[in-house]
Each structure stands twice: as C-alpha cells, then as structure tokens.
Structure 1
C-alpha cells in the first residue's frame, strides 16, 4: 500500500485568488479559488451516488476564500465568499486537483 505524502503547507493567496499547497515529497501545486469552488467535494456539487454531477450555476471568477479550518488530521473545510462551505477537502483530493490542474 502506498502512503500518501503529507501536506507541509497550505497558503491561501488572497491577492492571487489561489491556494498553494506543498507536500513532504516536495510536490507543490497552485489551485485557483474558482476551481476549488467548482470542484467542491460536497454532495451539492458532486451529486449523491454514482450518477452525473447536478447542474451548477457558474462560479464567479472573483470568488474568494473567507476562511478555512482543519477537520481532524485529514482535511480542510473551505468557506467561500458565496456562502458555500459544505465540502471537506481531503489532502488526497487537494493533491488530485493539483495534479490534474
């Protein structure tokens, strides 16, 4: 079983509207806030079950993160300026977003 590299830094860059995340294996990714919001892991965005994603209204390009808080040792909850905050972004999911960005 492969062990997931642990994040070493999360930096929310308000001026650049992006999250910068670094991992212990020296991988680094920058994810725009708009993409974080569009790809929220919440059921509201991803849908319930294996079906297709439900239609979503467009996410404004000027969306920003109002705050973030850790959830245990495995994820972070991100609060967006449009009021969305129901997705838990696991370290694995953030890495996937970075790698496919």
Structure 2
C-alpha cells in the first residue's frame, strides 16, 4: 500500500506487515493472550474501503476484512517501518 500524506511524505507498507498489525477485536485478543496471529507469507491486500475521513478498512487475500486502520495509525506504522529499514540498511 502506497501512502502519500498531506505534507507530501510518502511511504509504502507491505501486505504482510499491514495484516500483522491489524487491530480488529480478534487480532487484539490474540495479542493480549500472547498468541501470534497466523499471517500467510503470500497474503495480499485485495481492497481498501474508506471509513469516513478518519480510517480505511482493508481486505486481505486470506479473507480477513475486520481491521479498521485509522490514518494516524497507518502513519505510525509507516514511519516505524521506514526507520527499521533505514537501520537494517534497506
């Protein structure tokens, strides 16, 4: 997913990372109980639907479609991902 922000910053987030960071009730419950959510390594982002002006709901190729990703949360994920790639040299 490519994101371009109002300040012209641009980020790209991969489907696997987006799926792993889902905040739906099921995924949050799994995290609270220290259970890893199984995310297929070949998962793809299939669709994105706006939720008002504050978020986007993502649909993945594994059928998962319950996560709502607020724009500030996506920005946080994107900046964290970019920082980690910079540290890793990629």
State the TM-score, normalizing by the size of structure 1.
0.72
More strand by share: 1
- Structure 1: stretches of 5+ with no match in the other structure: 1-18
Query: Of the candidates 23, 29, 43, which is equivalent to residue 47 of structure 1?
Result: 29
- Structure 2: stretches of 5+ with no match in the other structure: 82-90
Aligned length: 81
Give the corresponding residue for 2:61: 81
More helix by share: 2
Instruction: Indicate the RMSD between aligned Cα atoms, in angstroms.
Output: 1.8
How big is the shift at 1:54?
A: 4.4
Is 1:92 the counterpart of 2:60? The answer is no
Q: Which runs of 4+ in 1 moved over 4 A?
A: none
- Verify the 8 A CA contact 1:45 1:53 in the aligned structure 2: no
State the TM-score, normalizing by the size of structure 2.
0.80
Summarize deviations over 1:48-99 as a string: whole Å, max 9, x none: 8xx8354134312210112111111111110011111111011001001001
- For the residues of structure 1 that align with 2:34 and 2:28, how far apart are their CA atoms? 7
